[in-house]
């Protein structure tokens, strides 16, 4: 149950509310209790003043016998200050009761039994004994079923010290406080019940979109990756969460789509050479009386197609490792002009076969940090394309130069150029401007060369661009960040 955010939220909310309600109620209760007690104490002081004034007046009018004068003055004053909640006592010098209002007004005084038990209590005894000073005394006395506030004041009569004690019943006061306590308890319980139920429904309502999102997300799989989570309010937190999820699904969908296309294209590319291999093998096996030259020719075709297959598989392997970030790219100092010269040397036979003039300008020293083999592969791909797509007797220029911030490799040819509407797509995998031409014959590529070259440039924090292409030729340039010019060959 506590695994549910809704329940946890409700519990927390109710707990905090309970603490606040209890604190507020307790504070209010104690303030009310204290102020009511202060008011009672003040009233008792005023009552004692008034009683003593009446007492002194009655004493003056009383007969001359000292004992009976005090008694009758006290009784007269008690009659005048009679109240249901107050009991008056006049104690003599030896703390013996001289006059008392208990029992005297039995019809009016509500609980004489409680008063009697209060008078008999130890608390009362010690309260009256301690009253030696002239100061007024105050204390709460616990009796059988109720409590009393005891007030005492010393006074002089006929040259002797007497003690006036007023016992004020706190019954009514405690009844009010009890009512307040009960009211507060019910209010807290009811408040918690309401807040808990309301909080739970509120939490349920707030969490409903999350639950709906979860249920929806659970239904999304590889087959329906195009589905998106519902966004009720794009501006609130849950809406933003749904949007983030949807963006993630978008990326996943695109990545899945790329993978699907990649696999489909790769299978398609592998099918042609495999079909040729099988066809050639079948021909070789079926024809009787073939000469050694015939077999040699078949073997040459098999060899060429196998090489083509190996090249495609290697390229595919490179790209898949590049995609998963698992291609190990070494970091060494590479003099790019040396790599360019080396690549030019490697393709010179190819160029010569097509009677293409290959010019190399690799005089500037271009130092970059990176993977020598990969950089070589990038330049070879560009040179290979330049020779492949140039007509017989054409010209290919390759130059390596260094600027203050980068090393640049430029490859220019005099081929037919790339049609303007296809230029944006030449870096796509398996893209060929002229598939028919590329796939057939020895020059056929799988459309992976430029994708790999672009990845290599980017893996070295550089870029590969088609600078320009028209009917006079095509110009590719790779820009790789490097420490700049160390020295130039012309210096
Ligand atoms: P391919 O293996 O087919 O050469 P690439 O990825 O290297 O694949 O090139 C993609 C396409 O870009 C090629 O099929 C070709 O149409 C076009 N292309 C690339 N380089 C050149 C170039 N120098 N001149 C003309 N077209 C080019």
* pLDDT grade for 437, boundaries at 50, 70 and 90: low
Give tens-digit pLDDT for 14-65: 999 999 999 999 999 999 999 999 999 999 999 999 999 999 898 887 766 6
Question: For the residues 338-343, what does the mean pLDDT come to?
Answer: 96
Burial bucket for residue 33 (CB in 10 Å: 0-12, 13-18, 19+): middle
| pLDDT given at position 443 | 58
Poorest-confidence range of 25-34, 128-137, 211-220, 482-491? Answer: 482-491
Question: For the residues 390-417, what does the mean pLDDT come to?
Answer: 93
Task: Indicate the class that CATH gives domain 237-324.
Answer: mainly alpha
Bridge-based pairing state of the strands 357-361 and 395-402: parallel
Calpha distance 453→322 (Å, rounded): 12
| pLDDT given at position 190 | 94
Pick the CATH number of 5-178 from 3.30.450.20, 3.30.230.10, 3.40.50.720, 2.160.10.10: 3.30.450.20
Give tens-digit pLDDT for 157-196: 888 888 899 999 888 888 999 999 999 999 999 999 999 9
Q: Where are the domains of the chain?
A: 5-178, 237-324, 332-481
Nearest alpha carbon, ligand 1 atom 7 = 449
- Ligand 1 pocket, residue 414 CB under 6 Å: no
Give the chain's mean pLDDT.
Answer: 87
- Ligand 1 pocket, residue 385 CB under 6 Å: yes
Calpha distance 453→417 (Å, rounded): 18
Q: Could you give the strand order of the β-sheet that contains 357-361, starting from the edge strand earlier in sequence?
A: 357-361, 395-402, 406-413, 473-481, 463-470
**Better pLDDT: 109 or 292:** 292
Q: Rg of the chain's alpha carbons, rounded to an integer?
A: 54
- Ligand 1 pocket, residue 13 CB under 6 Å: no
Poorest-confidence range of 281-295, 314-328, 444-458? Answer: 281-295
Give me ligand 1 centre to Cα 446, in Å.
9
**Residues near 81 by beta carbon (within 8 Å), at least 6 away in sequence:** 47, 50, 51, 54, 88
Give me ligand 1 centre to Cα 99, in Å.
127
Nearest alpha carbon, ligand 1 atom 26 = 418
**Residues near 417 by beta carbon (within 8 Å), at least 6 away in sequence:** 469, 470, 471, 472, 473, 474
Give tens-digit pLDDT for 109-136: 455 677 888 888 888 888 887 656 667 7
| pLDDT given at position 93 | 82
Nearest alpha carbon, ligand 1 atom 16 = 433
Nearest alpha carbon, ligand 1 atom 21 = 385
Q: Does the structural domain 332-481 have CATH classification 3.40.50.1820?
A: no
- Ligand 1 pocket, residue 433 CB under 6 Å: yes
- Ligand 1 pocket, residue 213 CB under 6 Å: no
Give me ligand 1 centre to Cα 386, in Å.
8
- Ligand 1 pocket, residue 386 CB under 6 Å: yes
- Ligand 1 pocket, residue 464 CB under 6 Å: no
């Amino acid at each position: 149950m506590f695994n549910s955010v809704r329940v946890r939220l409700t519990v927390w909310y109710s707990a905090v509310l309970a603490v606040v309600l209890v604190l507020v109620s307790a504070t209010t209760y104690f303030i009310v209790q204290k102020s009511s007690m202060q008011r009672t104490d003040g009233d008792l002081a005023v009552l004692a003043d008034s009683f003593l004034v009446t007492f002194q007046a009655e004493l003056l009018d009383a007969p001359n016998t000292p004992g009976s004068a005090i008694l009758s003055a006290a009784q007269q004053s008690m009659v005048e200050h009679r109240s249901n909640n107050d009991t008056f006592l006049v104690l003599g010098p030896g703390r013996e009761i001289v006059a008392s209002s208990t029992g005297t007004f039995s019809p009016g005084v509500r609980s004489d039994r409680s008063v009697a038990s209060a008078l008999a209590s130890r608390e009362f005894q010690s309260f009256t004994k301690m009253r030696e000073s002239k100061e007024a005394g105050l204390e709460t006395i616990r009796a059988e079923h109720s409590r009393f506030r005891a007030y005492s004041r010393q006074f002089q009569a006929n040259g002797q010290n007497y003690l006036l004690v007023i016992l004020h019943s706190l019954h009514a006061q405690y009844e009010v406080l009890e009512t307040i306590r009960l009211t507060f308890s019910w209010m807290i319980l009811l408040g918690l019940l309401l807040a808990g139920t309301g909080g739970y429904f509120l939490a349920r309502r707030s969490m409903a979109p999350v639950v709906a999102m979860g249920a929806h997300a659970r239904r999304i799989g590889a087959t329906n990756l195009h589905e998106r989570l519902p966004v009720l309010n794009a501006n609130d937190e849950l809406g933003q969460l749904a949007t983030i999820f949807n963006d993630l699904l978008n990326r996943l969908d695109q990545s899945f789509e790329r993978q699907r296309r990649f696999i489909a294209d790769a299978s398609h590319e592998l099918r042609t050479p495999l079909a040729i291999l099988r066809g050639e093998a079948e021909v070789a096996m079926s024809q009787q009386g073939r000469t050694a030259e015939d077999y040699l020719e078949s073997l040459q075709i098999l060899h060429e197609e196998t090489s083509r297959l190996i090249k495609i598989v290697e390229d595919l392997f490179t790209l898949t490792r590049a995609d998963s970030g698992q291609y190990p790219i070494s970091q060494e100092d590479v003099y790019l002009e040396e790599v360019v010269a080396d690549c030019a040397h490697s393709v010179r036979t190819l160029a010569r076969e097509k009677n293409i003039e290959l010019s190399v300008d690799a005089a500037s020293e271009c130092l970059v940090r990176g993977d020598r083999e990969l950089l070589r592969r990038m330049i070879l791909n560009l040179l290979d394309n330049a020779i492949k797509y140039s007509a017989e007797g054409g010209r290919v220029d390759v130059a390596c130069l260094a600027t203050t911030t980068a090393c640049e490799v430029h490859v220019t040819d005099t081929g037919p150029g790339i049609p303007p509407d296809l230029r944006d797509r030449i870096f796509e995998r398996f893209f060929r401007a002229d598939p028919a031409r590329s796939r057939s014959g020895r020059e056929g590529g799988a459309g992976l060369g430029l994708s790999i070259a672009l990845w290599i440039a980017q893996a070295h924090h550089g870029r590969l661009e088609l600078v320009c292409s028209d009917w006079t030729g095509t110009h590719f340039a790779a820009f790789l960040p490097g420490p700049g010019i160390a020295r130039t060959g012309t210096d």
